[in-house]
A and B are shown apart, each in its own frame.
Chain A
Amino acid sequence: DGGITQSPKYLFRKEGQNVTLSCEQNLNHDAMYWYRQDPGQGLRLIYYSQIVNDFQKGDIAEGYSVSREKKESFPLTVTSAQKNPTAFYLCASSIKQGAARGYTFGSGTRLTVV
Chain B
Amino acid sequence: AQTVTQSQPEMSVQEAETVTLSCTYDTSESDYYLFWYKQPPSRQMILVIRQEAYKQQNATENRFSVNFQKAAKSFSLKISDSQLGDAAMYFCAYRFSWGSGNTPLVFGKGTRLSVIA
Contacts and interface: CB of A to CB of B under 8 A. Distances in A.
Interface size class of B (residues with CB under 8 A): 20 to 34
Given A33-B104, A41-B109, A99 B97 contact: yes
A2 B102 CA distance: 21
A107 B97 contact: no
Nearest to A43: B107
A92 B106 CA distance: 13
Nearest to B103: A99
B114 to A, nearest CB: 16
Given A99-B33, A105-B44, A43 B102 contact: no
A96 B101 CA distance: 6
Nearest to B42: A107
Interface size class of A (residues with CB under 8 A): 20 to 34
B104 A48 contact: yes
A58 B104 contact: yes
Given A88-B43, A102-B47, A108-B43, A43 B91 contact: yes
A102 B93 contact: yes
A76 interface: no
A102 B61 CA distance: 16
A103 B107 CA distance: 12
Interface string A44-61: 110010100000001000
Contacts of A40: 9, 109-110
B43 A99 contact: no
B104 A42 contact: no
30 contacts: A31-B101, A33-B105, A40-B9, A40-B109, A40-B110, A42-B6, A42-B109, A43-B91, A45-B104, A48-B104, A50-B102, A90-B45, A92-B105, A94-B102, A96-B100, A96-B101, A96-B102, A97-B97, A97-B100, A97-B101, A98-B102, A99-B96, A100-B33, A100-B97, A101-B50, A102-B33, A102-B105, A103-B47, A105-B44, A108-B43
Given A99-B103, A102-B47, 6 more contacts: A35-B107, A41-B109, A92-B45, A99-B33, A99-B95, A102-B35
